[in-house]
Amino acid sequence: MDGVRNETNDQPSVVIQVRDLLASRGALTLPAQPPPLAVTPSVAWAKERYGMHAVVNTSIAKVPRGGGLLEMSRFLHDHEVVTPPDNTRLKLLVEGTREQAVLLTDLVFAVRARRPAAPAPGIEVFSAQLFYKVEPKWFYADLTRQDRVPVRPNSARGERGEFPYSVHRREPEHFAVDLELGDQEVEWVAELHWTCEGISGALEISNQGAPFVSRPALGRPRYDWDYNTDQWRRV
């Protein structure tokens, strides 16, 4: 069933489409019916958990010293800020649409193509002056070799929980998946598998039916403000 939930990504040209792949009871494939889930996805550049990141087309010599919030906000307003087309993180807010619990059994990435990645544009600057707090369930998917990749807990972020998860109308789940690309540009779609009352199904998350394209930040310099030396430091 197409158009379960469409959401606009941070990048205006990307419209995320969620569609029902299948629904079955045992070996019997059932007629198309609305899945018992509402999925709100976003695909974007993977930032760190806290702080303000930006990629700009300029030199580090022009970036304000100290990385303070006010100075950085003015700087970003006056300079060309690049929206990185990296697509290195998938976030999902998954809600059940019924009173009965829906068991989310797996989240799988299906790789459609790989090719060498081009150098990434701009420079990345980081300021720890702007904080936000979002605590999803953190996962990780290595898309460098296999063509079907179930997500794994992101131990680097302290995550230990694994699928399955349970959702229903009043208890959603929020997932974030960081993607490992190596030095390759990777095309992929994601599949969220579920089961409810003996019926199993899967939702495909794609870019209007086409794969997403994710790119590593090859060659893009990154700078953090070093409070010990009082200058921008390349990391």
Q: What pLDDT, on a 0 to 100 scale, did the predictor assign at position 228?
A: 84
Percent of the chain clearing pLDDT 70 (strictly above)? 71
Q: What pLDDT, on a 0 to 100 scale, did the predictor assign at position 175?
A: 93
Q: What pLDDT, on a 0 to 100 scale, did the predictor assign at position 229?
A: 85
Q: What pLDDT, on a 0 to 100 scale, did the predictor assign at position 18?
A: 64
Which residue would you say has higher pLDDT here, 228 or 164? Answer: 164
Distance CA 13, CA 83 (A): 11
Percent of the chain clearing pLDDT 90 (strictly above)? 25
Q: Cα 233 to chain center, whole Å? A: 27
Distances in Å between the alpha carbon of 215 and those of 15, 65, 166? 18, 30, 32
Q: pLDDT digit string (tens) for 57-104?
A: 778 888 877 766 667 767 776 766 665 557 788 888 898 888 888 999
Q: pLDDT digit string (tens) for 126-140?
A: 665 444 444 789 999
Around Cβ 15, how many Cβ atoms within 10 Å?
A: 14
Q: What pLDDT, on a 0 to 100 scale, did the predictor assign at position 3?
A: 34
Residue 62: what are its φ and ψ, rounded to 5°?
A: -95, -5
Q: pLDDT digit string (tens) for 15-47?
A: 556 666 655 555 554 445 677 888 888 777 655
* Residue 114 burial (C-beta neighbours within 10 Å; 0-12, 13-18, 19+): middle
Position 147 pLDDT exceeds 90? yes
